[in-house]
Structure 1
Amino acid sequence: MTAMASRVYQSFNPPQPAKREGALKFGILGAAGTAPLSLIIPAKSHSEVIVQAVAARDRKRAEDFAKAHGIPEVKDSYEDILNDPNIDCIFVPLPNAFHYEWAVRSIRAGKHVLLEKPSVSNATEAESLFNLPELSQPNGPVLLEALHMRFYPALSYFRSLIDPANIAHVNAVSMIPWWMTGKNDIHFNYNLSGGSMMSMGTYNFAALRVLFGAEPEECLSCDVHSYTDGIHDKCDYEFQARFRFPNGAIGEASSTMNGPTYWTPSHVTVTNKETIVPDKRLPESHVLVQKRELTLHGFIHGVIWHRIDIKDVFEVRNRDTGKIVKRYEEKSQKKAYSFQEAGGAFADLPGEPFWMSYRHQLEQFVNRIKGRETQHWISASDSIAQMKMMDMAYEKSGLGPRPSKTFN
């Protein structure tokens, strides 16, 4: 417990090395409540990142935000940040409906963009954004969808334990307690591209895609609960979706933003197909069958707490009749708060146990901008595929994909 408390404390109060010459200066669009966790705190421990400026629709709110978080400059508008030659990178934590517009504007202004998830409102916007010609230019802007959990060591290690060809079923579950949201939040505003799938569901869908290493072929079902007051009825506060992946494997995702009082950690469980394990100790008339189940608890915010459970169920069966002669289980656990703790092929990758997933993400973003090797990345095609999966689910639910927002 002491180690956990120390790690979590350092995550939110990290050491602050001196900033290097040539450090990247960030501007934040919007005084968003997610910005401290997503960028401001991780930037403190990165010697090549300075959070330089913020702008909001309400200047007073931006000033209060800047004062609270030690941001040197407050700009009058988002455009002022984009027009500042001193700003290298833009962080876009605005409501979902504005992601596309301000990512496009930022890229056209020659800025690198860290774009809050989900990247945009729908797959049409994703195709347009990630195929902007500026992004394919030599030394052009870098664009990254900030799906932070994909950069965390525990997920990388968990993925290394899995052969997608052996997967029979994956189930990804997440939640937010009822007291953290309300129907008037932006999460439930259709015109702002709200909905639980656009919020927590983004993580669930990403987990399925990462573990299968493939895209879903079909959304088999998507059951949703939404408010029925005629205002918020197109925004789901809870969903359960089933997808068919290649080779007939099934992926399930479920989340609620109206969950029980106590926040339970997210988890994703992978069930493998039965496999025959050679065992020379057995007579010819018997066969040893293994079925493995792996669960990563806390796959979204792993730095707080996570655990990987591995359960192997073995059955000795009569080869001809299939009758079970003997059954036994073997269980083990693993944690990976750093790549060093994950070990093996990961042992030399950068990071500290107190680095939250956002800090790992920031490391890779800076490396890509600086022209260094990136060990993990979310490609343009990956982000487009993510939005296609979300559209697929929303179509099946009957609520329809989130709307595009036009701008001049």
Structure 2
Amino acid sequence: MLSLVSRVWTAFDPPTVQKKSDAIRFGILGAAKTAPLSLITPAKSHPEVVVQAISARDRTRAEAFAKKYGIPDVRHSYQEILDDPNIDAIYIPLPNSLHFEWAVRAIRAGKHVLLEKPSVSNAIEANILFNLPELSQPNAPVLLEAFHNRFHPAVHLFRSFINPADVVHVHTDSMVPWLMTAKGNIEFNYNLSGGSMMMLGTYNFGMLRMIFDDEPEECLTCDTSIFGDGIHDKCDYDFKAEFRFPNGGIGEATTTMRGPILWKPSEARVTTKEVVVLDNTLPPAQEKHRIDVKDSYVIRNKEDHQPVRKWVEPKSHNAYTYKEAGGEFADLPGEDWWISFRYELEEFVNRVKGRQTQYWVGGDDSANQMKMIDMAYEKSGLGLRPTSSFR
């Protein structure tokens, strides 16, 4: 218990390290509530990252934010940050509808971009953003959609248990308590590309795509709940969607942003095809099958495949570091108190510095992610999130 408390405490109050002279200097666009957890806190323990500047629509708010989190510079506008030659990278935690415009502007200004998920509002914007000519030039800026959870060692250990071709069904769910989301928040503003699929369900979709290691062929169903007050009618506050993948497997995603007060961690439950396991202790007429991931076993008669006995052998695995996760990433750096944002920042810095990255969310991946979100919104009848007029 003490080690758990220590690990959690250090994760949210990490040691401040000496910064290198060539550290990457970040500018933040918007005094967003996600910025401390996503960048400011992880940056404390990274010797090659400095959070240098911030700008917000309300300068007073930006100044208060900078004072609270120890950010040296406050700028009058987002563009002023992009124009600063001393700023190397931009973190964009703006409302979804502004991601496209400011990511494009930042890339054209030659800045590296850490872009909050979802990367943009729809696949139309994604196809433009991730195919910008500036990104294919020598010494092109680095652009990363900040799917922080996909960088954590536990996720890669989980993936190592799964053969995507054998996956039959996946159930994913996520939630936030209703106290954390009010009807008037940006999460439910259609013009700001709100909706539970955009704000939270995109994690579910990303996990489904990782587990199947493929793109969905079709959204079979997508049921949503809306406030129905004539103002928020195009924004879902919860949804349940089912997708068919190329191997015939079904992926299910459920999300609510109006959940119960008692928060429940997100989960992914995977069911795979039965695999025959050699067991010489069984009579010749029977064979032992294993269902991977869930570690469920069944003894069946070979002739008619009727079950004789079933049981489950529960197991749990900890992987706070890549060393604990083992496998191909076992030598990667990390501490047991690093959270997913810290692992993500490590790889972002490696890519900017021209070093090898062991895991990355590329432009094609992000574009396909938006196609999946669009697929679900079209099936739901709510329609795509609005496309920016900026070019």
The two structures have a TM-score, normalised by structure 2, of 0.98
| Aligned residue in 1 for 2:26 | 26
Moved over 6 A (4+): none
Q: Measure how far apart 1:316 and its partner are.
A: 1.8
Q: Within 2, Cα distance between the matches of 1:313 and 1:112?
A: 46
**Match for residue 114 of structure 1?**
114
Partner of 1:88: 88
Alignment-derived partner of residue 317 in structure 1? 300
1:331 pairs, out of 299, 314, 339, with 314
Deviation (angstroms), 1:324: 2.5
| Identity of matched residues, % | 61
What SS does the corresponding residue of 1:17 show, helix, strand or coil?
Answer: coil
Query: Which residue identity lines up with residue 361 of structure 2 in the other structure?
Result: I
Deviations 1:250-289 (A, max 9, x none): 0000000000011011111111112222223323211212
Amino acid corresponding to residue 159 of structure 1 in structure 2: R
Matches of 1:126 and 1:166, distance apart in 2: 31
Trace 1:263-274 onto structure 2 (pairs within 5 A).
Answer: 263-274=263-274
| Number of the residue aligned with 2:338 | 355
3-state DSSP of counterpart to 2:316 = strand
- 3-state SS of the aligned residue for 1:31? coil
Matches within 5 A, 1:176-187: 176-187=176-187
Map of 1:157 onto structure 2: 157
SS of the residue aligned with 1:288?
Answer: strand
* 1:147-167 Cα distance to aligned partner (Å, 9 max, x none): 100000100110011100111
User: Which residue number in structure 2 is paired with residue 305 of structure 1?
Assistant: none
Counterpart check, 1:391 vs 2:374: yes
1:72-98 alpha-carbon deviations (Å, 9 max, x no partner): 000000010000000000000000000
In 2, the alpha carbon distance for the partners of 1:345 and 1:119 equals 28
What is residue 54 of structure 1 aligned with on the other side?
A: 54
Deviations 1:281-319 (A, max 9, x none): 323211212223x3xxxxxxxxxxxxxxxx322222221
- Name the counterpart of 1:255: 255
The answer for the alignment partner of 1:240 in structure 2 is: 240
From 322, 334, 355, the equivalent of 1:372 is: 355
Number of residue pairs the alignment of both structures matches:
391
The 2-side partners of 1:364 and 1:22 are apart by 17
The correspondence of residues 287-326 of structure 1 with structure 2, limited to 5 A, is 287-292=287-292, 294=293, 311-326=294-309
- The range that moved more, 4-13 or 102-111, is 4-13
CA distance in structure 2 between the aligned counterparts of 1:221 and 1:179, rounded to whole angstroms: 28
**Which residues of structure 1 form unaligned runs of 5+?**
295-310
Task: Say if 2:125 and 2:388, in contact at 8 Å, map to a contact too.
Answer: no
**What's the counterpart of residue 226 of structure 1?**
226
Runs of 5+ unmatched residues, structure 2: none
The structure in which a higher percent of residues are strand is 1
Aligned equivalent of 2:75: 75
TM-score, normalised by the number of residues in structure 1: 0.94
